[in-house]
Structure 1
Amino acid sequence: MISRDSGRTRSGSPGGERGGRRRSRRRRPRPDGSMKLLIARWIAPFQTVLSDTLGEPARALSAAGLLGPARDPRHGAIASGAAFRLAKALGQPPLDIARRIAEACAARAAAFPGLDRVEATPPGYVNFAAAPAFYADLVAEILRAGPDFGRSDLGRGERVNLEFCSANPTGPLHVAHGRQAAVGDCLARILAFSGHEVVREYYWNDTGNQIRNLVASVCVRGRQILAGEPADGPIGFEGGYAGAYVTDLARALIDSGGAAAVAEPPGGGDAPSPLRESVVRRMKALILEDLEAFGVRYDVQTSQEALERSGKVAAMLDAFRARGLVYEKDGALWFRAQDFGDTQDWVLVKRDGAYTYRAPDYAYHRDKFERGFTRVINLWGPDHHAYVGSVRAGLKAMDPAWADRFQVLLVQYCKMMRGTEEVKMSKRGGTFVTLREVIDEVGPDATRFFFVLRKVDSHLAFDLELAKAQKSENPVFYVQYAHARIASVLRKAQELHGDDAAGGPSAVPAPEEALLLQAAGRFPDAVERAAVEREPYVITEFLLGLAAALQSYYQRGDKDERFRMLHPEAPVRRMRLAVARAVQVVLRNGLSLLGVGAPDRMESPAT
């Protein structure tokens, strides 16, 4: 296997070490109050208005993207940029076209259930404001759905294998693995919430030179310990591992088995031996322990060594031979990869009979599809860009449909910062910052949230000091504090007014609440977008926007008591408390998709 310290995964292969979880697939209808339902209700009458008002150019427009959530909630709930798409054909400025559309929609308002008003705004948008009753329905729907608000059946019938953070068992996980683990686990939660059946998988690259070098490194440190020499200098050979974890591993083996436990095994660590088995087992346990602390668990783990022992690699090669997909040259077995879109042909079996890393990789992916997955998604590091096409070529040779259902997300690297200074070294890892060090310093919640703050393929600067700060500039603190602030208000309402805090809205939300509810009501759309685009950052972006909307709403009450949540008039107070509880539900659901806690109590932010 290629040195893939960036990540990959697997589900139920020979020798697979299975996790114990099976997820049930609960399906819920899309919420009645979501922005998407408004779009569904309004798209047909809107297309009719366009056709009747603007003629043939409008009839030629696709329905896709005609209506969407308004960018600026102050302009309404739903917006259309159709005028921009029609400007060239009609030979008119977009704003003039938008005004014609808005006037025609207003004249047929009865065809748009739940519409309050429609207007055109520069430079050419048509904005639709929902009626107050819509927002009352939205509050009721969120409170009724609770933890299921935002759940959908978008992925009905899709069985997804999601492989991520498949680091080689040769050292502790570093921060690049950590980002992959966060992205992968968050994506698994998002896909499952969207109706996909998801299997999280870890693939252990537990054969080859790197394992041999790790065993040899443990032997070197073991000899140094037994001789009373310092065991923290250079390891003494190219490719060796010198981190403190290797010394710890050697010492643990000596403590449990004496000097014989770290003696050089026959074959130098390449062939099976008690030492090799013990070293690999302990390294796997160390990695899984760090992932557990990070809130990441796998449904299936698969060993490359076990895959090769099972005969599945040999069976795949036999199938390639039978179909003429391979040929012999210079004593090696070559795959005709160029016939399937790759840049060159590749050796699968070397002249000494050993597999190259491609052979088990192809067999591994073949096994995934043969286990019935309709979609295989791998998370790799950006250094594996060229290898994507190679695996796709192998799949295309086996079954073209498999190649079409194979997807790789290249997770960009993460730079660790302490303020303005980059953190490059680690005591435990040797030359890299370990995931465990970050978790221990800032906590798993902040670590997960920061790792998914940006798009998967964007570089990320992770400021350790900011992640610990109890202030609004810290994004995870900002969102969690929004949830805790609502919990505090609800506790206060219970103390002062009893059942008001638990009751439903007894008044129709006013424009101030409508702005806040517009932000909350976009959650189902954000979940769908995150699932379709395979981008957990969509959820962090949504949560930060919702927390900002709540902050603005709350501050207005600080400045003018007429807008306080705990209003003296009971109907207004109950309505605002119901809105607050609905926003709290959405915040909690969003944080849950990120695997981040939603605390009910937090210290006030530092000023």
Structure 2
Amino acid sequence: MTPAELSATVLSAIRASVDAGELVLPADVLASLEVTVERPKNREHGDYATNVALRLAKPAGLAPRDVAALLAIRLGQTAGIKSAEMAGPGFLNITFDAAVQGELARTVVQAGTAYGHTDTFAGTRINLEFISANPTGPIHIGGVRWAAVGDSLARILRASGAEVVSEYYINDAGTQIDKFAASLHAAAHGRPVPEDGYVGEYIGEIAAQILQLNPGVLTLPEDEQLSVFRTTGLRLMTDQIRQSTEDFGTHFDVWFSEQSLHDSGAVAQAMDRLREQGHVFDQDGAVWLRTTDFGDDRDRVLVRSNGETTYFASDAAYFLNKRDRGFSPAIYLLGADHHGYVGRLKAIVACAGSDPNKDIEVLIGQFVKMLKDGEEVRMSKRAGNIITIDDVVDWIGVDAARYALVRQSTDSNITLDIDLLTKQATDNPVYYIQYAHARMCSVKAKAAQLGIDKGAPEDFDPSLLTHVKENELLGKLGEFPRVIAKAGELREAHQVARYLEDLAGDFHRFYAECQILPKGDLELPIGLTRARMWLAEATQTVLANGLSLLGVSAPERM
């Protein structure tokens, strides 16, 4: 029985008590009631506990212990529940029959890759935008964090039933692109890049590619040369970014060009729509959006007095585009240096007539640094003074990088220790989890050598799984669907990572205390061997499913 099934069972007991006149509850309380069950820290208190009696006491006009006593009787008569006992001021401690608890192993194995998936967010269309760095250089270490976290969040939300479009906003308009083109142009001529331009070996590499693709470009008038370097350079750099993210296991459904908003007239149309709603005004020759009406610290310029459109106008048009595509919420994942954008984006949403507390979410990711031999690594030879996504992959690999970047809350600064993350030892968290998966694969391979298999579903006897470590492992497996749903609700991919570490620990302890296969003179009843093989395979399934949500592989050998 999963936690969700137990919650439904408790709710049914409450409804039955109401129908029998034992409990009197207002209709609205009963209609909106959600039952929460938790694994108690002290396993002597049962398999699960709930505080629902404490919550119902006031509307029922009874003492909490009286409510708990009524529910304990009904739950104790429910098939599959060994006991339901009142505790403390009104808690209910529930213990399953071994067969009911063990049945979860069969449920997990038969569900396979679908186990853990729910319909929690069914009907929700989410636009998840992340990285979105200027295409003026490789993705740096901050963007690498969002490449891991953003892609994992997309997977988690989809597993929870949401329709998710992952999106990269290509900032291919504005002065930074002009500086990028000028840097490429200078490199092609063998001149130093402009003082405020871009440096690094990649500039020379892209410039050389442009010359190869356009052999006569340097004979053109200078403005035409710059146009070629701008257009071709952007395409080549964007292609590199796209390839790097794909190599990192991060896929984007949409690559959205900022320049396309200008070319299509969407920016002008957005300003017209906002003006119609009364939020645009003209002053000192410029066009402004009155964002102070919605909590911004100052009004924002849409068009400068020289006629130049600002990035803020593009942001407004981009949000309206997302809204027109039917997304709610639009989730933005931004770096630590973008705190000031939060209020501005919410003000845009409010000016557009949407709900800034519902239709947009902004997550801020803190800084990342890398250590090698105890010293901070600060530079990349190819990209100059930044560490790139390709550097991270070269140093520690995709699996270790993705896992290490996801396992901490995005609210926290993190440090990646290259030496630790490339070490095959249990203090390396990704190795610890992958080793648990590989260990189970090894058990299956050894069983095959011995001519043993787990048998057909009807050969599985869940009542044999009575050891305390089996119980703990089954309880952890049952939590997986709820962990995914909670991670999606809170936008916290690290909750899946920490769950996997706990699950791996439970498996390693089970493996140490519960013999799975015959060994030497130590024989086991075939029924117990098969039951434990089902439990091991269920754990293998959940580990693989969880690692997949984080974009990390589940190797069969280590």
TM-score (norm 2): 0.89
Q: 1:482 aligns with which of 414, 423, 436?
A: 436
Alpha-carbon distance in 2 for matches of 1:85, 1:417: 49
Shift in alpha-carbon separation, 1:64–1:459, aligned structure 2, 3 A: farther
- Between 1:544-553 and 1:153-162, the stretch displaced more is 153-162
Q: Deviations over 1:100-155 (max 9, x none)?
A: 87766554443544322345778996432222121232122112211111111111
Q: 1:568 aligns with which of 516, 524, 527?
A: 524
Tell me, yes or no, if structure 1 residue 80 matches structure 2 residue 24.
Answer: no
Residue 523 of structure 1 is matched in structure 2 by 480
Contact 1:136–1:505 (CA under 8 A) maintained in structure 2: no
Alpha-carbon distance in 2 for matches of 1:122, 1:553: 31
Letter in 2 for 1:34: T
| Matched ranges for 1:48-447 at <5 A | 63-64=33-34, 66-71=36-41, 75-81=45-51, 106-119=72-85, 126-224=92-190, 235-237=193-195, 239-258=196-215, 260-261=217-218, 265-266=222-223, 269=226, 273-401=227-355, 404-447=358-401
Shift in alpha-carbon separation, 1:83–1:38, aligned structure 2, 3 A: closer
Shift in alpha-carbon separation, 1:54–1:506, aligned structure 2, 3 A: closer
TM-superposed deviation, 1:403: 6.0
TM-superposed deviation, 1:569: 1.0
Shift in alpha-carbon separation, 1:65–1:500, aligned structure 2, 3 A: closer
TM-superposed deviation, 1:257: 3.7
Residue 580 of structure 1 is matched in structure 2 by 536
Letter in 1 for 2:100: F
Letter in 2 for 1:182: A
- Between 1:119-128 and 1:135-144, the stretch displaced more is 119-128
Alpha-carbon distance in 1 for matches of 2:418, 2:217: 43
Contact 1:212–1:268 (CA under 8 A) maintained in structure 2: no
Residue 550 of structure 2 is matched in structure 1 by 594
- Between 1:212-221 and 1:475-484, the stretch displaced more is 212-221
Alpha-carbon distance in 1 for matches of 2:358, 2:64: 41
Residue 497 of structure 2 is matched in structure 1 by 540
Contact 1:165–1:180 (CA under 8 A) maintained in structure 2: yes
Root-mean-square deviation over aligned CA pairs: 3.3
Q: 2:4 aligns with which of 8, 11, 36?
A: 36
Contact 2:218–2:225 (CA under 8 A) maintained in structure 1: no
TM-superposed deviation, 1:263: 7.7
Q: 1:506 aligns with which of 461, 478, 484?
A: 461
Contact 1:262–1:275 (CA under 8 A) maintained in structure 2: no
TM-superposed deviation, 1:53: 10
Shift in alpha-carbon separation, 1:325–1:287, aligned structure 2, 3 A: same
Contact 2:454–2:460 (CA under 8 A) maintained in structure 1: no
Shift in alpha-carbon separation, 1:260–1:481, aligned structure 2, 3 A: same
Alpha-carbon distance in 1 for matches of 2:462, 2:359: 50
- Between 1:137-146 and 1:114-123, the stretch displaced more is 114-123
Percent of residue pairs bearing the same amino acid type = 37
Contact 1:261–1:275 (CA under 8 A) maintained in structure 2: no
TM-superposed deviation, 1:568: 2.1
Contact 2:370–2:416 (CA under 8 A) maintained in structure 1: yes
Secondary structure, aligned partner of 2:363 = strand
Letter in 2 for 1:38: L
Alpha-carbon distance in 1 for matches of 2:372, 2:133: 26
Alpha-carbon distance in 2 for matches of 1:47, 1:553: 38
Secondary structure, aligned partner of 1:587 = helix
Secondary structure, aligned partner of 2:189 = helix
Letter in 1 for 2:260: A
TM-superposed deviation, 1:265: 3.8
In structure 1, list runs of 5 or more residues that go unmatched: 1-32, 90-96, 226-230, 603-607
Alpha-carbon distance in 1 for matches of 2:487, 2:360: 18
Letter in 1 for 2:124: E
Q: Deviations over 1:78-103 (max 9, x none)?
A: 223568879999xxxxxxx9988776
Contact 2:328–2:358 (CA under 8 A) maintained in structure 1: no
Alpha-carbon distance in 1 for matches of 2:35, 2:408: 24
TM-superposed deviation, 1:321: 2.9
Q: Deviations over 1:350-379 (max 9, x none)?
A: 011111111011011101111122321111
Alpha-carbon distance in 1 for matches of 2:517, 2:275: 80
Residue 469 of structure 1 is matched in structure 2 by 423
- Between 1:403-412 and 1:324-333, the stretch displaced more is 403-412
TM-superposed deviation, 1:451: 0.8
Contact 2:64–2:90 (CA under 8 A) maintained in structure 1: yes
Contact 1:425–1:433 (CA under 8 A) maintained in structure 2: yes
Secondary structure, aligned partner of 2:461 = coil
TM-score (norm 1): 0.82
Secondary structure, aligned partner of 2:157 = helix
Q: 2:405 aligns with which of 438, 447, 451?
A: 451
Alpha-carbon distance in 2 for matches of 1:408, 1:557: 47
Letter in 1 for 2:444: L
Shift in alpha-carbon separation, 1:403–1:115, aligned structure 2, 3 A: closer
What is the total number of aligned residue pairs between the two structures? 549
Contact 1:39–1:78 (CA under 8 A) maintained in structure 2: no
TM-superposed deviation, 1:421: 2.1
Alpha-carbon distance in 2 for matches of 1:468, 1:52: 63
Contact 1:101–1:126 (CA under 8 A) maintained in structure 2: no
In structure 2, list runs of 5 or more residues that go unmatched: none
Shift in alpha-carbon separation, 1:122–1:379, aligned structure 2, 3 A: same
Alpha-carbon distance in 2 for matches of 1:419, 1:525: 39
Q: 1:553 aligns with which of 502, 510, 520?
A: 510
Contact 1:419–1:466 (CA under 8 A) maintained in structure 2: no
Residue 45 of structure 1 is matched in structure 2 by 13
Contact 1:505–1:576 (CA under 8 A) maintained in structure 2: no
TM-superposed deviation, 1:279: 0.7
Alpha-carbon distance in 1 for matches of 2:126, 2:471: 38
Shift in alpha-carbon separation, 1:35–1:66, aligned structure 2, 3 A: closer
Shift in alpha-carbon separation, 1:264–1:544, aligned structure 2, 3 A: farther
Alpha-carbon distance in 2 for matches of 1:111, 1:413: 54
Letter in 1 for 2:277: R
TM-superposed deviation, 1:483: 0.8
Alpha-carbon distance in 2 for matches of 1:72, 1:196: 36
Contact 2:184–2:206 (CA under 8 A) maintained in structure 1: yes
Alpha-carbon distance in 2 for matches of 1:530, 1:262: 57
Alpha-carbon distance in 1 for matches of 2:205, 2:530: 60
Alpha-carbon distance in 2 for matches of 1:267, 1:388: 39
Contact 2:57–2:64 (CA under 8 A) maintained in structure 1: no
Secondary structure, aligned partner of 1:117 = strand
